[in-house]
Structure 1
Amino acid sequence: MIKIKKGLDIPIAGAPVQIIEEGPTIHHVALLGEEYVGMRPSMLIQEGDWVKKGQALFEDKKNPGVMFTAPASGKVSAINRGERRVLQSVVIEIDGDEQVPFEHYEESSLNQLSDEQVQRHLLASGLWTALRTRPFSKTPVPNSRPRAIFVSAMDTQPLAADPQVIIATESDAFNHGLTILARLTEGKVHVCHAPGQAVASYQNAQVTYNEFSGPHPAGLVGTHIHFLEPVSLNKTVWHVGYQDVIAIGKLFTRGELWTDRIVSLAGPQVEQPVLLRTRLGASLSELTAGRLKEGDNRIISGSVLSGTAFSATHGYLGRFHQQVSVIREGREKELFGWVMPGRDKYSITRTTLGHFFKHKLFAFSTDMHGGERAMVPIGNYERVMPLDIFGHSFAA
């Protein structure tokens, strides 16, 4: 076990009940182009076209063969572009469930597939884009091979779902996905999980199970890579989300593209925080309808620390996000707030009274309590940074 001693678990209110419920019916889904670093799309469809689930929507010009496929069948209702015609999103109005069939294999033959067969299948289905490189967090170049592949079966982000709850519902598909990933590397497939979690049921010479404990960022894949397989310009590893491992397992054993997503809908502004079964790229306004407290809310695809705020062109569940967080827009002003004791304000430096309430949860908002300020390097970042880097240098 690797124990992370430095870090910070933000005491934010609204943690979800770890029970999976069926989410609302989703009528619109989208692929968000800006999630793929350095990608330049070559469009294969246009607005008004009808597409099947699994049909190619566009191809990466920089990496021919890397296909981005539809997460649902229906009509392409919008192709949104930003400055310099950067692709923001491709929106599909869902209609029916017609899908592109893919080749599938017997479970017993998965470990006999060649890496060429596996790559070809992942590229055709669009699941190749679930893989990301470290460094640079890009979609891997076809025909490349990593030193290792990381699967994070734990999550220490604020308000996150417990991956063990989700993996337990699809354990066979998860294990089949690990078998497929092992065909893509001559190194190890590192499955990183929290202590006591029963994910180590699958035995494979290439698959290793690593326990991490401690505060956030103990559950981040960057932390796992830093301690197990540090990268450099000459050493590349890949990583993939645990729900995408399930999707890969289902693709190879059933021949269909699994686009379900179980996400945590949580935060101080959610009426009943819970885990919802929805679909990849789901409309956030449809997903959260009737579940939020009244007021001016900010809906975030992903964590409050690193997610993407809701907007007209980005109001959809991100490809790599497994939670939806909702907090209050902090637009109100507080008279002489800087002299108040701050019972309801959290601080790690004893600046406010809230620091001394160790088990209190806080209804954080977007309020920055003022504008941008000068950075004073007094060691605060180093107190919560478990990696061998200077935190204040990146924050400055």
Structure 2
Amino acid sequence: MSKVIKLRKGFTINLAGRAELKVAGEVMPETFAIKPTDFHGIQRPKVLVKEGDTVKAGTPILYDKANPRVQFVAPVSGEIAEVVRGAKRKLLEIRILADRTVAYEEFPKLSSNDVANLQREEVVELLAKSGTWPNLVQRPYGIIASPDVTPKAIFISSFDTHPLAPDYDFLLKGQERYFQAGIDLLKKLTDGPVHIGLNADAEVSPVFTGVKGATLHKFSGKHPVGNVGVQIHHIDPINKGDIVWTINPYGVAQIGKLLVDGRYDSSKLVAVVGSEVKDPHYVKTWGGANVGKLVAGKIKQDNVRYVSGNVLTGTNVGKDGYLGYFDNMVTVIPEGNHYEFLGWLTVTPKKYSYHRAFGLLSFLNRSKPYVIDTNLQGEERAWVQTGTFDNMIPMDILPEYLLKSIMAEDYDGMESLGIYEVIEEDMALCEFIDVSKHDVQAILREGLTLMQYS
């Protein structure tokens, strides 16, 4: 194993409401949904089902006309309840009225010898038809990987440092066989190595340390050290023309279940966390679950925000929304729809900020978990040059200059300033600490889209 890569830049946000390492039970909501909006890179979605159709877990229900080989499948069995469209008939959700017991489409079960004899194209077809392919994300751009491209390497981060993030060691406990099977198949998709980033600041599960056929790297530091993009930068940076793929540990295990059990299995442990959750915990459910059912009877008050994912990069889905495809957590925090007169001048131990001028007392006690609401404490204004963005990203890029080059649509500037190496999660901390209140992640996505189609 390589030496520990120690990163000094970053900022770990300590929020109240971390989940205890226990499973409170199984939750089977009445409805589930798959949302094309969870995926970047879908251009022309084509729905394969209509209301009233019956499906099994693994039945294709959607594909992209620009990439028809990749199927998006039902996470559970049941009846298609509704195809939800928005403005200009944009496809938002396909909702499924779930059966009480999940029925599965059957796929071939493959042994380790079978996998060893597979050709790359056979692997691509298996993953694309089974619905597990969307777990693979391409860098640059953070879009669904193209089956027609061979990446120079595949990267996996085995830990998450976002606020209140779930423990992947706990999520995958006892799934060593599935994870190894997933790694064996992923090796068929690249001519280069499969890299796994490990947390040097904590005990690591045998699921990751015992894996064979992958290159292991240890990382130490503050958030965003757990981001796979940061790890890529310090292992094998992305240059112009390079393509790498990333996948989270849950996706690897899901591929392994496809091989071992012959099923598209979307079951997962989900962390229900946040300061407004009574007794934060984990529950077992399935992908695309209704959020309201996951948190039923566990919320302290009504004036809250329901986030699928973490508070930095997650999506505000509301109580009636659905769990995102890549999410293993639901965060519930107070809604910030109240106003304080000259609140930004108030010095109080309850105010949490990276900047010492606004949150001096919280700066002196970073180890204390804080309750933070969604109040922006201001509105968008002209850029304020603070130099703090540079301290948030442990990568050799200049975030403020990159964002300005995006706003100016300066293609050469974006390229030279490192846009190929980042996606939204890598710059989310900049948005959190930005005194100018810019939507940094949205700006970055605009730049990535400009570069992708230029």
TM-score (normalizing by structure 2): 0.83
Equivalent in the alignment of 1:89: 93
Select 2:31's aligned residue among 16, 28, 32. Answer: 28
Q: Which residue of 2 aligns with 1:274?
A: 281
Tell me the equivalent position of 2:391: 383
1:355 is aligned to 2:359: no
Aligned residue number for residue 201 of structure 1? 210
Name the counterpart of 2:151: 146
Which residue of structure 1 aligns with residue 128 of structure 2? 123
Higher helix content, 1 or 2:
2
Alignment of 1:298-313 (within 5 A): 298-311=305-318
Cα distance change, pair 344–251 in 1 and its aligned pair in 2 (3 A): same
Deviation at 1:187, TM superposition (A): 0.4
Deviations 1:109-160 (A, max 9, x none): 3223221221111011111111110011111222321111111111101101
Q: Corresponding residue for 1:18? A: 21
Cα-to-partner distance string for 1:75-121 (whole Å, 9 max, x where unaligned): 11111112222211111010242221101112343223221221111
1:142-291 matches, within 5 Å, as 142-195=147-200, 196-198=203-205, 199-204=208-213, 207-291=214-298
On the 8 A contact 1:4/1:214 being kept in 2, the answer is: yes
Deviates more, 1:211-220 or 1:101-110: 101-110
Q: Residue by residue, what CA displacement relative to the aligned partner does 1:332-389 show, whole Å, maximum 9, x if unpaired?
A: 2223423422211012221233322232221000011222233311211112221112
Paired with 2:338 and 2:142, the residues of 1 have a C-alpha distance of 37
Kindly provide the amino acid, as one letter, of the partner of residue 183 in structure 2: L
Moved more, 216-225 or 347-356: 347-356
How far apart are 1:311 and its partner, in Å? 4.2
Q: How does 1:288-327 map to 2 (within 5 A)?
A: 288-311=295-318, 315-327=321-333
Residue 83 of structure 2 corresponds to which residue in structure 1?
79
Q: Alpha-carbon deviations, 1:169-222, whole Å to 9, x = none? A: 211111111101011111011111212413221222xx1011111110000011
Query: Partner of 2:60 in structure 1?
Result: 56
Conserved 8 A contact 1:76-1:93: yes
Within-5 A mapping of 1:128-139: 128-139=133-144
Report percent identity of matched pairs. 34
Partner amino acid, structure 1, of 2:344: W
- Is there any run of 5+ residues in structure 1 with no aligned partner, and where? none
Return the alpha-carbon distance in structure 1 between the equivalents of residues 297 and 287 of structure 2. 20
2-structure distance, mates of 1:358, 1:306: 21
2:349 aligns to what?
343
- Pairwise CA distance, 1:312: 8.0
Check 1:381–1:108 CA distance in 2 against 1; reply closer, same or farther (3 A cut).
Answer: same
CA contact under 8 A between 1:178 and 1:245: conserved in structure 2?
yes
Match in the other structure for 1:374: 382
SS of the residue 2:155 aligns to: strand
Mind listing any 5+ residue stretches in structure 2 that lack a counterpart?
A: 404-430, 432-437, 439-454
Q: In the alignment, is the contact (CA less than 8 A) between 2:56 and 2:74 conserved in 1?
A: yes
Give the superposition deviation at 1:225: 1.4
Alignment TM-score, normalising by the size of structure 1: 0.95
- CA displacement at 1:168 relative to structure 2: 2.4
Relative to structure 1, the CA distance from residue 119 to residue 339 in structure 2 (aligned partners, 3 Å threshold; closer, same or farther) is closer
Contact kept? 1:58, 1:67, Cα under 8 Å: yes
Contact 1:149 1:237 in 2 (8 A): yes
Following superposition, the deviation at residue 265 of structure 1 comes to: 1.0
User: Partner residue of 2:452?
Assistant: none
Q: Partner amino acid for 2:247?
A: V
Farther-moved stretch of structure 1 (1-10 vs 97-106): 97-106
Contact 1:18 1:161 in 2 (8 A): no
| Deviation string, structure 1 residues 41-84 (Cα, Å, up to 9, x no partner) | 12211112111111110221001211111111111111111222
For residue 65 of structure 1, give the secondary structure of its aligned residue in structure 2: strand
